[in-house]
Amino acid sequence: MTTTEHDLIVVGAGFAGMYTTIHAARRGLDILGIEAGDDVGGTWYWNRYPGARCDVESIDYSYSFDDELQREWRWRERYATQPEILEYLSHVADRFDVRRHYRFGERVAGATWDEAAHRWTVRTQNGLTASARWLVMAAGGLSQPQLPDIPGRDSFTGEVLQTSAWPHRQVDFTGKRVAVIGTGSSGVQAIPLIAATAAEVVVYQRSANYSIPAFNHPIDDDEWDRQQQNLRRRRELSWNGSAGSPWTSHPVPFDEATLAEREAVFEESWRRGGVLFAKAFQGLTVEPRINDAAREFFERKLAERVPDPHVRAALTPTDHPLGTKRICTDSSYYETFTLPHVRLVNLREDPLVAVDPTGIRTATGLREHDAIVYATGFDAMTGALTAMDIRGRDDRSLRDEWQGFPVTYLGIGLPGFPNLLVLNGPGSPSVLSNMALTSEQQGEYALRLIDHCRAEGLTSAEARADAATAWTEHSLELADRTLFGSAPSWYTGSNIEGKARGFLPYIGGFRAYIDRADQVAAEGYRGFILSTR
């Protein structure tokens, strides 16, 4: 097959890939986009499970680069569902003619750096080959599905489903005995809707997670008008905030607030819903005493939602401080366990032994099921890239390099892998922030670096090893100052057996990260080796 040549190859057609493609086209670059799915959407193309919904408010979880786009798209709910987000991204693709740059249904098998030519050659599993000076990886931080290695997993004769790779057809659970393994975000969102029609639902839980109601609602015309009138200010706050949203912590420090004031702040933050609860007080995920107060408030709320003390105890998180795993955003999740046909199996008390042809066997015996739903998440932050055979200078393998811990410069540049720019990678704010805005920042930063090299006649940009080591150590040190660093979560790779442990995102804050990255650019991309052939 003929190898096509381009200025830039973009892998992925989610928020980051689409932004990069739109703005690379505006610069006149010859772009090839490669996407494993059959259309745009990235994470939101694949995650079609019941209840799939964003935990960032719709008005914030959208592109900010085009005023007309912001005005013309009318969000229907405070927290958009997967179908609505996919509709939005499809609308953006139509409006900016994104699809013409992409080859869909092509999954990247590998990429190889040619040192003599200063170009990358990319190969797909279907045999497509293409070459480009620059390779931008926008493959997503939550895009490599993870299935647990359970004895007998493939022996089950009933229906097997995975939240991270949900079929495009309608799945009907009416009258079925359904097992759900996993109670992370996707399980928390899916379980209430599965229980609405299933004859029986058995939830197998290894670790309880904190989940807070979304308090979701349709956006009426009055609310929409208020949002539009305040949009410019809202965006300004988001771009200058710590997590890409306009919300901040209570201005009065926890230690200066009375008990009544603390209760009122926690209640207000609770009513904001979901992940916003962790912003109640500054230092909530840093200082154990503040975290303990938030945890106690949560447990009182949980007691109102789950009267049964045994079930409530099993649903109460005990292995991590509140907020150090991403807080789930739910709609009637805990209330589902009060229904007579829903059962919770606490795998810490009744360990999972094996999957049998007819069901799931734990230490206490076999439970028969008609369907098993794996809500077991992703090999986060690194899995999408290590699934590919990426070879840099001197044939060095990215998979082998990251077998220890991923060393990056700003999350974007990788030593030994020239002209490979990773968006929302380890060492960037990524999943700790509003991914719509981080995708804009990351895509624009990558293109600015390409602009600089093209203007100066440079053909290669590579992160210096010492700069990448220093950045990675800085990122890990920041995490260790908080309660995040030691908590077992996909943030640290603890959900993947054998994966190196360490806090993967940059926790220093979105605005602080932007300032650091902009300073690097202002100093002629200090920390990068810029060269010609």
Can you spell out the DSSP letters for 84-103? HHHHHHHHHHHHTT-GGGEE
Mean pLDDT over each residue of the chain, to the nearest integer? 96
Instruction: Name residue, tokens 């209640």.
Output: 267
pLDDT at 142: 86
Structure tokens at 348: 């810490």
Q: Residue 494 pLDDT > 90, yes or no?
A: no
Beta bridge partners of 328: 211
Distance separating alpha carbons of residues 143 and 40, to the nearest angstrom: 14
pLDDT at 379: 85
Nearest-10 Cα torsion for 224, 229, 231, 233: -140
Beta bridge partners of 390: 111
Residue 132 near residue 114, CB atoms below 8 Å: no
Beta bridge partners of 462: 529
Measured in Å, how far apart are the chain's first and last C-alpha atoms? 27
Tens of pLDDT, residues 442-466: 999 999 999 999 999 999 999 999 9
Confidence of residue 210 (pLDDT cuts 50, 70, 90): very high
Helices (H), 280-434: 288-305, 309-315, 333-336, 383-386, 398-401
Share of the chain above pLDDT 70, in %: 100
DSSP label at residue 500: P
Tens of pLDDT, residues 239-265: 999 999 999 999 999 999 999 999 999
The 3 state secondary structure assigned to 434-465 is CHHHHHHHHHHHHHHHHHHHHHHCCCEEEECH
DSSP of 402-427, one letter per residue?
TTS----BTTTB-TT-TTEEESS-TT
DSSP of 139-173, one letter per residue?
--SS-SB-----TTGGG--SEEEEGGG--SSPP--
Q: Residue 489 pLDDT > 80, yes or no?
A: yes
Q: Residue 390 pLDDT > 90, yes or no?
A: yes
Sign of CA dihedral 440, 277, 481, 256: positive
pLDDT at 493: 85
Instruction: Name residue, tokens 């935990």.
Output: 55
Q: Could you tell me how many residues make up the chain?
A: 533
Sign of CA dihedral 298, 300, 304, 306: positive
Structure tokens at 166: 């949900």
Strand locations in 24-151 (E): 31-35, 102-104, 108-114, 119-124, 129-137
Once rounded to an integer, what is the mean pLDDT over residues 158-163? 96
pLDDT at 470: 98
Tens of pLDDT, residues 397-410: 999 999 989 999 99
Beta bridge partners of 213: 330
Q: Residue 207 pLDDT > 90, yes or no?
A: yes
pLDDT at 236: 97
Residue 191 near residue 336, CB atoms below 8 Å: yes
- Name the nearest CA neighbour of 392 among 65, 112, 185: 112
Once rounded to an integer, what is the mean pLDDT over residues 266-272? 95
Tens of pLDDT, residues 84-116: 999 999 999 999 999 999 999 999 999 999 999
Q: Residue 1 pLDDT > 70, yes or no?
A: no
pLDDT at 440: 98
Confidence of residue 337 (pLDDT cuts 50, 70, 90): very high
